[in-house]
């Protein structure tokens, strides 16, 4: 069979004959790849326009390690186009594996990244996978100047891809992934700079407009002041992951911001089945030696970074949402957000939602699970399942005087200067559970905007907002910061319950309770206005605290705990 040079397959309308290279029904790509030594066999794509390919059988690209293209061909990828590219699967499989190519990306490149032009559409595959793909110029598996859209594919996998720039698996201006009927997985992808003194973002996905070419190219500077019309042309979010059966981001790594995902714009992850971010990390350069002084001044978002001027990040109506064991770790840096660093964050639960065992570690460390940056807002609504924060921590490293020491504190959410909680709602039958406290940078940092708890026009919000020290170890209970939540904004409980139990302390700038709501407290718990005396009497007004319906857990008075 005739071999076709790797560098010929660009979006040029070439019609290629079909071959069957796979066992029908097999899902293990390791047995399926064909093509070696810089060439691949004539494949089952029929080009029917200058920028579209129709897959009529299975195809794969494997072990292509050509260091440079032939002298008469430009640097390229397995598929490339200067403007747009469409790949239609017809329920077939397309795999890329073990690619190291001197091109724009290992598997697919479209348009020009610096000018944010060129779009990709991938649709209708049974399986689409990129394994261990890279290119020698710095990009990972897929680099798209404009928008990339993946739709109607059963399984979409990106595993072990790496980039010496931003976005280990995908680097693009806008990204939409929808209707994966079985699974969407990003696992073990890595973005890193080639030197220990420079840094990268988006271990799996980097999704942002790039500023004009006059900006320093290696740092991929962003046009931060652009309004939200920088989203894709149809007005949809710049990052849109919806209607997928399962979404998994696991073991992805970067060296500055967004261990799994970096997004600059409006980002929506909604209406999916299970969504899980597991063991993702942002950490100092993988090339740094133990004694290396090179480290970014800030590390942000162990799993997700979305914190430029007008960024919004929304999770809504996912049947399950898990952030577990993500980390943001740098001994000399300010580390923000073990799981998420965001400007404006919306979490509306569609099922159980859990933040567990995430941590940030640094010379300054904030946001064990979530860091809300200056002037930002965090909105939490338990509409279809409980929202739980448990086991999240900040770890602060003090290296002078030697030897270095660490201070570990429980923390769920940190509110930076002038940021605030915008929504705290729990619908009937559900709750929001803070087994790790909320912190604010300083008194007054959250401004004066009143937070009305369980305030919704669309839902009956009679659920519980719970602050509890019950998950602390005996040693952790010795440190008051592990069970003290600070709201430097006035609180009003409109309906439902505010529960303070097992030694927890809630500090506020003022508290009011409306008729029909309940405040439930254990013996030894505190509801306090900062700088004033705590409230000890039902229907009392003391230092800005108004309680009209206070319940005391009798079991705590009898020594039975908060049960």
Other CB atoms within a 10 A radius of the CB of residue 108 amount to 26
**pLDDT score recorded for residue 457:** 73
Which DSSP string corresponds to 23-41? -TT---GGGT----TTEEE
Q: Which of 239, 182, 164, 232 is nearest to 205 (CA)?
A: 239
- If you ran DSSP here, which 8-state letter would residue 257 be given? B
Q: Which of 249, 244, 248, 241 is nearest to 267 (CA)?
A: 241
**pLDDT score recorded for residue 285:** 61
**pLDDT score recorded for residue 520:** 96
Distance from chain centroid for Cα 16: 40
**pLDDT score recorded for residue 78:** 77
Phi, psi of 217, deg, nearest 5: -65, -35
Q: Which of 248, 289, 290, 284 is nearest to 269 (CA)?
A: 248
Which DSSP string corresponds to 290-357? TT-----SEEE-SSEEE-STT-EEEEES-SEEEEES-EEEEEEEEEE-SSEEEEEEEEE-SS-EEEES
Other CB atoms within a 10 A radius of the CB of residue 473 amount to 9
**pLDDT score recorded for residue 455:** 94
Asked if 388 contacts 434 with a C-beta cutoff of 8 angstroms, the reply is: no
**pLDDT score recorded for residue 453:** 97
Asked if 363 contacts 405 with a C-beta cutoff of 8 angstroms, the reply is: no
pTM of the full predicted structure?
0.86
Q: Which of 312, 388, 393, 397 is nearest to 362 (CA)?
A: 397
* 190 token code pair: 């890595």
- Maximal CA-CA distance, the chain: 88
The answer for residues whose C-beta is within 8 angstroms of residue 426's C-beta and 6 or more apart is 381, 382, 387, 432, 454, 461, 463, 464, 465, 496
Asked if 334 contacts 298 with a C-beta cutoff of 8 angstroms, the reply is: yes
Block mean pLDDT (10 aa), the chain, length 563 = 30 29 29 39 39 84 63 59 89 89 77 83 96 78 93 97 91 96 97 72 91 36 36 67 98 94 95 98 68 71 90 97 96 90 97 99 95 95 98 92 88 93 96 97 60 86 97 97 93 96 94 94 90 38 63 58 40
Asked if 397 contacts 404 with a C-beta cutoff of 8 angstroms, the reply is: yes
The answer for residues whose C-beta is within 8 angstroms of residue 483's C-beta and 6 or more apart is 410, 437, 467, 469, 472, 477, 502, 503, 504, 505
Would you report the helix, strand and coil content of the chain in percent, each value rounded to 5?
5, 45, 50
Asked if 386 contacts 428 with a C-beta cutoff of 8 angstroms, the reply is: no
Apex CA 209: angle with CA 323 and CA 282, to 5°?
35
CA distance 29 to 541: 68
Query: Which stretches of 137-253 are DSSP H helices?
Result: none
The 10 Å CB-count burial string (b at 16+, else e) for 388-419 is bbbbbbbbbbeeeeeeeeeebbbbbbbbbebb
Whether residue 313 has a cis bond before it, omega within 30° of 0: no
**pLDDT score recorded for residue 370:** 98
Other CB atoms within a 10 A radius of the CB of residue 55 amount to 22
Asked if 436 contacts 466 with a C-beta cutoff of 8 angstroms, the reply is: no
CA 376 to each of CA 153, 216, 315, 470: distance values in angstroms, whole numbers, following the listed order: 36, 28, 16, 30
Each domain of the chain, given as residue ranges in start order, spans 1-290
């Amino acid at each position: 069979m005739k071999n076709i040079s790797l560098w010929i397959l660009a979006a040029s309308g070439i019609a290629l004959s079909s071959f069957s290279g796979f066992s029908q029904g097999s899902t293990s790509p390791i047995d399926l790849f064909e093509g070696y030594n810089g060439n691949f066999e004539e494949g089952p794509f029929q080009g029917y326009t200058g920028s579209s390919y129709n897959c009529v059988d299975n195809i794969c690209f494997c072990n292509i390690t050509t260091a440079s293209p032939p002298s008469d061909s430009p640097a390229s990828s397995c598929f490339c186009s200067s403007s747009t590219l469409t790949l239609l699967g017809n329920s077939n499989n397309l795999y890329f594996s073990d690619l190291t190519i001197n091109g724009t990306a290992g598997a697919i490149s479209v348009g020009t990244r610096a000018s944010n032009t060129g779009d990709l559409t991938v649709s209708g595959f049974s399986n689409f996978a990129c394994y261990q793909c890279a290119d020698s110029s710095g990009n990972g598996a897929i680099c798209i100047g404009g928008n990339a859209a993946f739709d109607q594919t059963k399984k979409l996998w990106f595993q072990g891809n790496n980039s010496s720039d931003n976005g280990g698996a995908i680097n693009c201006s806008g990204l939409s992934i929808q209707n994966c009927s079985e699974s969407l997985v990003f696992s073990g992808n890595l973005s890193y700079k080639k030197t220990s003194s420079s840094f990268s973002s988006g271990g799996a996905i980097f999704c942002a407009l790039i500023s004009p070419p006059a900006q320093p190219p290696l740092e991929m500077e962003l046009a931060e002041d652009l309004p939200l019309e920088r989203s894709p042309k149809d007005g949809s979010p710049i990052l849109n992951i919806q209607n997928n059966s399962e979404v998994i981001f696991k073991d992805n790594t970067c060296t500055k911001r967004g261990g799994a995902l970096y997004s600059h714009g409006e980002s929506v992850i909604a209406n999916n089945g299970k969504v899980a971010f597991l063991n993702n990390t942002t950490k100092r350069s993988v090339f740094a030696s133990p004694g290396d002084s090179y480290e970014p001044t800030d590390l942000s978002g162990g799993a997700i970074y979305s914190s430029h001027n007008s960024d919004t990040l929304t999770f809504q109506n996912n049947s399950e949402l898990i952030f577990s064991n993500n980390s943001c770790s740098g001994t000399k840096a300010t580390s923000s957000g073990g799981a998420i660093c965001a400007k404006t964050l919306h979490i509306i639960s569609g099922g159980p939602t859990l933040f567990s065992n995430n941590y940030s570690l640094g010379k300054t460390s904030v946001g064990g699970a979530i860091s809300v940056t200056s002037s930002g807002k965090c909105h939490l609504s338990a509409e279809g399942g409980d929202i739980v924060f448990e086991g999240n921590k900040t770890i602060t490293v003090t290296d002078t005087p030697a030897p270095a020491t660490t201070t570990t504190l429980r923390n769920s959410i940190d509110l930076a200067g002038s940021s605030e909680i915008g929504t705290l709602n729990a619908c009937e039958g559900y709750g929001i559970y803070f087994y790790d406290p909320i912190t604010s940078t300083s008194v007054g940092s959250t401004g004066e905007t009143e937070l009305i708890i369980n305030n919704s026009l669309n839902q009956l919000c009679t659920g519980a907002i719970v602050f509890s020290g019950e998950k602390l170890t005996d040693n952790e209970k010795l440190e008051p910061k592990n069970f003290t939540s600070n709201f430097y904004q006035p609180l009003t409980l409109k309906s439902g319950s505010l529960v303070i139990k097992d030694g927890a302390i809630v500090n506020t700038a003022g508290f009011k309770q409306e008729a029909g709501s309940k405040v439930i407290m254990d013996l030894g718990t505190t509801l306090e206005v900062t700088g004033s005396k705590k409230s000890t009497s039902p229907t009392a007004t003391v230092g800005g605290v108004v309680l009209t319906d206070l319940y005391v857990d009798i079991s705590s008075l009898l020594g039975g705990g908060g049960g």
